[in-house]
Chains A and B, each alone.
Chain A
Amino acid sequence: MNAPLNISRRQFIKATAFIAGGLVIAFTIPHAKRFLLPGKEEAVAGAAKLPEPNAFLRIGTDNSITVLLAHSEMGQSIWTTLPMLIAEELDADWDSIKVEHAPAAPAYIHTAYGLQITGGSSTTWSEFDRYRQAGALTRALLLSAAAEKLGVPVAALFTDNGAVVHGDQRIPYGELAEAASQLATPTAVTLKDPKDWKIIGKATKRLDGPEKINGTAKFGMDVQFEGLMTAMVARSPVFGGQVKSYDDSAVLKVKGVHKVVQVPTGVAVIADHYWAAKQGREALKVEWDLGPAVSMDSKTLFDEYRALAAKEGLTAAQAGDNAAAFAAGGKLIEAEYQLPFLAHSPMEPLNCAIHIKDDSCEVWTGTQMPGNDQAAVAKVTGLKAEQITIHTPFLGGGFGRRANPAADFVTEAAHVAKAAGMPVKTVWSREDDVKGGFYRPMYLHKARIALGADGMPAAWEHRCVGQSIMKGTPFEAFMIKNGVDATSVEGIADSAYLKNVPNHKVELHTTESVVRVLWWRSVGHSHTAFVMESLIDEAAHASGKDALEYRRSLLKGHPRHLAALNLAAEKAGWGSTLPAGRFRGIAVHESFGSYVAQVAEISIEEGAVKVHRVVCAIDCGLVVNPDSLVAQMESSIAFGLGAALQSEISFKAGEVEQSNFHNYQVLRMSAMPVVEVHIVPSTDKMGGAGEPGVPPIAPAVTNAIFAATGKRIRSLPIGNQLAEA
């Protein structure tokens, strides 16, 4: 595993801080300018770039090892997983590991996506090499420093638990850090053979656990400093609306309110604290020009989508001759599915604190895209990106909402701070968050399936209607081809099932709206898996075959789907007798490079579904931290189940009908099933963990509902559809 290195310049050292009584030698980022924004890179010799180890870790003379995360911790446990990669190759003492979010800087650009982002369930696989290499490079430097110090060849030394060892002598890394940082980085590095791993693959406790248990963990909402004001913004109740006029006379009488300023998104009340800002905003009178969206209505919108679905759309995937295959006859399934807009609703409402100074600016916000936010603040303030420091505290959930190419909440906060002329933390109320847009888009699917004599699909026509997430973002260039946003049809156009359906056509109608949309945990798969797995169940039922056997037949040649499917079915006891009143449903779906199957066990109680148990199997390739993978499956099931059962953002007379958790309902403890997670042993290509557990849960549950009641749920949320039956 020798990899070429292209680092020729000497590393620099910088004594930056005293921590715990010891001088910390911080490896700096000497080559930061080598990585500029896309299209502006200086030529870098060689295709394989090894990381600058100093950008990813610091070794203190107190022996502490601080790992800098190029990605944001929002629950998915990368605060632990990425340090595991470095610690493995560095032979670090795990107890000496500290973790920080990296600043917004070119060194931290995503190895696959080309900008600094946490998303796409990509952190672990995309950093698997870079973080291990950073650990290995640093270890090599420490060995060289020790060899020089002792006057022995490197071959006479080895590393163990945070020290270089020579015979009976142990030199802690902290004693070698300064010398090591002055050495030229080696030109090749050897990574450990997986059989020698001591940390990778071992269930490891979260490093952020203690501070999140004792209340000391700092989130964006917790940023406080002398002079920092709190702002709340009154925004148009209808998307696209503008301020016509406002009256702040009553606002300024509220104790604690300092200012009222107009910003592009509305009117901001600046106050000493949240309570004053909230009372001030309630006293504010704004006259809005609501604009054309004032008549927007979800029911009408679905009718418009339905009308579009009757027409041919842009082709996203095609094989064989659908027309001839449908003409050949056979049992026909025709179905329409619909899914609502969804809000992400992370527990921490959106917030962003900004302190604009003459020639610099500091920003504190829980973000999944610090570089993008830096650019957004630069645009508003007129400062250069490098004058803007982005501090990323912990994210109180993200689910995609805090990775917004439009940088909506950061841009707005920058306008507020600029107009106020003082440091301001703009805070969204829960209502602002629920009503604030950037939703998972609503979708309507229309499918027609002709079954062959063997009961298997012989022809499949599938039309999707909904908004594009990628349009207008930096991802548009490579995610939208021939007018088709790949995320609108992912999970269908590339479905493993359809590869075994000789005649098929997947079409897309992309709609436009003032409602801005965004990726929501599992992106397009959040609607496509529900539709595909329901349709497969419909086909299995129509052909009189077992839902599991039918899937097995149609997934021939897809071993990873089958491995997950078979493991989940086996562990769930598929086919075995259930207690009276219990029913099972199954679903399997690939997303983000991982394969997840789930079996849901339900009953119907008083006209509502109760999910008792979910057995989940995942193949995501090599697993770095098995316990955090299990946690992500539990998490995904809770997230997806809550949405399937109850969540919906709907519009009436242009306004969002929901406002807070009483009517935008998410999963609570009482509805949480027992979850059993089984990991498919795999050395296959690594996939993601944060999202792939979400897509299968809705169809697993609705397929179980069909088994229980004969009622096919074709619209989410399930809501009270069973009571109506």
Chain B
Amino acid sequence: MTTLNINGVDQELDISDDMPILWAIRDIAQLTGTKFGCGMAQCGACTVHLDGMAIRSCITPASVAVGKKITTIEHISQDKVGQAVQAAWSEIDVVQCGYCQSGQIMSATALLASNPKPSDADIDAAMSGNICRCGTYPRIRAAIHQAASKLA
């Protein structure tokens, strides 16, 4: 049994140490908001926060998260920055198919937490690991700027 703290709750999970956090969250803890997209940290759909840092959960073994706090999309509204990001996403109507958006929101929240007023170049650098096949990029960029201004 491995104890993972997911969204503020300690959970005893019957998993191997090498199981990526993604599958522990999705298949064992049954929180499906975090998505599987590539399995090799290429697309960002699986982005969650580990002690506030954005990580790609598809390649990060569960053992790495022991003793740390995992935050997923289901809990990000509890965070002031996360809430502002979600509000901006709604206002600008960012989503299309929606599959990548959990990861986009988690990456954007981590960006704003560390850089409250990112430039376009900062956004490119922080968000280029998150692929959106629907091409919602212009709206993501606008929503990040909007969340930044609301938080300022």
Contact = CB atoms under 8 A, between A and B. Distances in A.
Nearest to B103: A347
Nearest to B34: A215
B64 interface: no
A518 B27 CA distance: 32
B132 interface: yes
Interface in B43-95: 43, 45, 72-74, 77, 86, 89-90, 93-95
A237 interface: no
B134 A638 contact: yes
Interface in B110-152: 123-125, 127-141
A461 interface: no
Contacts of A212: 95, 98, 101
Interface string A183-223: 00000000000000000000001101111111111110110
A177 B125 CA distance: 54
A213 B73 CA distance: 8
Given A274-B23, A275-B20, A669 B137 contact: yes
Given A275-B20, A347-B37, A672 B72 contact: no
Interface string B1-41: 00000000000000010011001001110111111111110
Contacts of A306: none
A222 B32 contact: yes
Contacts of A74: 97
A672 B137 contact: yes
Given A215-B34, A273-B28, A347-B35, A396 B97 contact: yes
Given A273-B28, A661-B131, A672 B138 contact: yes
Given A218-B32, A429-B39, A670-B128, A635 B95 contact: no
B141 A631 contact: no
B136 A213 contact: no
A233 B16 CA distance: 22
A213 B76 CA distance: 10
A666 B37 CA distance: 13
Contacts of A638: 132, 134-135, 137
Contacts of B133: 345-347, 397, 399, 639, 666
Contacts of A398: 97
Contact of B32 (A224, A272, A672, A674): A224
A346 B97 contact: yes
A409 to B, nearest CB: 16
Contact of A214 (B16, B73, B125): B73
B90 to A, nearest CB: 6
A211 B123 CA distance: 24
Given A347-B100, A669-B141, A675-B138, A206 B95 contact: yes
A349 interface: yes
Nearest to B125: A670
A669 B123 contact: yes
B38 A205 contact: no
A668 interface: yes
A275 B99 contact: no
A278 to B, nearest CB: 8
A438 interface: no
**Most chain B beta carbons < 10 A, residue from A224, A631, A662:** A631
Nearest to B121: A670
Most buried by A among B98, B123, B131, B138: B98
Contacts of B86: 213-214
B135 A635 contact: yes
Given A275-B19, A666-B131, A395 B95 contact: no
A211 B77 CA distance: 13
Interface size class of A (residues with CB under 8 A): 35 or more
B39 to A, nearest CB: 6
A669 B124 contact: yes
A394 interface: yes
Nearest to B72: A215
A428 to B, nearest CB: 10
Contacts of B105: 213
Contacts of B16: 255, 275
Contacts of A106: none
Given A214-B73, A215-B73, A669-B128, A275 B139 contact: no
B96 A396 contact: no
Q: Tell me if A's interface is mostly helix, strand, loop or mixed.
A: loop
A217 B134 CA distance: 16
Contacts of B74: 214-216
B43 A636 contact: no
A101 to B, nearest CB: 14
B141 A347 contact: no
A399 B95 CA distance: 16
A636 B94 CA distance: 15
Q: Which of B37, B102, B127 gathers most chain A CB within 10 Å?
A: B37
Contacts of B43: 347, 430, 661
A651 to B, nearest CB: 22
Contacts of B40: 430, 660-662
A205 to B, nearest CB: 5
A600 to B, nearest CB: 15
Contact of A208 (B28, B36, B42, B95): B95
A77 B124 contact: no
B99 A219 contact: yes
Nearest to B85: A213
A202 to B, nearest CB: 13
B124 A670 contact: yes
A631 B137 contact: no
Contacts of B141: 669, 672
Interface string A670-692: 10101100000000000000000
Contacts of B124: 669-670
Given A275-B19, A668-B131, A669-B123, A660 B42 contact: yes
B30 A224 contact: yes
A396 B95 contact: no
Contacts of B93: 205-206, 209, 627, 631
Contacts of A76: 96
A77 B32 CA distance: 22
- Interface centre among B26, B34, B96, by most chain A C-beta atoms within 10 angstroms, is B96
B5 to A, nearest CB: 18
B120 to A, nearest CB: 10
B131 A221 contact: no
A637 interface: yes
A206 B101 CA distance: 14
A214 B134 CA distance: 18
Contact of B45 (A217, A347, A672, A674): A347
A206 B45 CA distance: 21
A675 B38 CA distance: 28
A526 to B, nearest CB: 15
A634 B33 contact: no
Given A274-B23, A639-B135, A631 B96 contact: yes
A634 B94 CA distance: 11
A470 to B, nearest CB: 25
7 contacts: A75-B134, A214-B77, A274-B23, A275-B27, A398-B97, A635-B134, A669-B127
Given A272-B27, A347-B45, A396-B98, 17 more contacts: A209-B90, A215-B72, A216-B33, A217-B98, A222-B32, A274-B27, A275-B16, A347-B37, A347-B134, A349-B37, A634-B135, A660-B38, A660-B39, A667-B135, A669-B128, A672-B138, A675-B138
**Interface pairs A-B: 3 shortest CB-CB:** A638-B135, A215-B33, A396-B99
Interface of B: 16, 19-20, 23, 26-28, 30-40, 42-43, 45, 72-74, 77, 86, 89-90, 93-102, 105, 123-125, 127-141
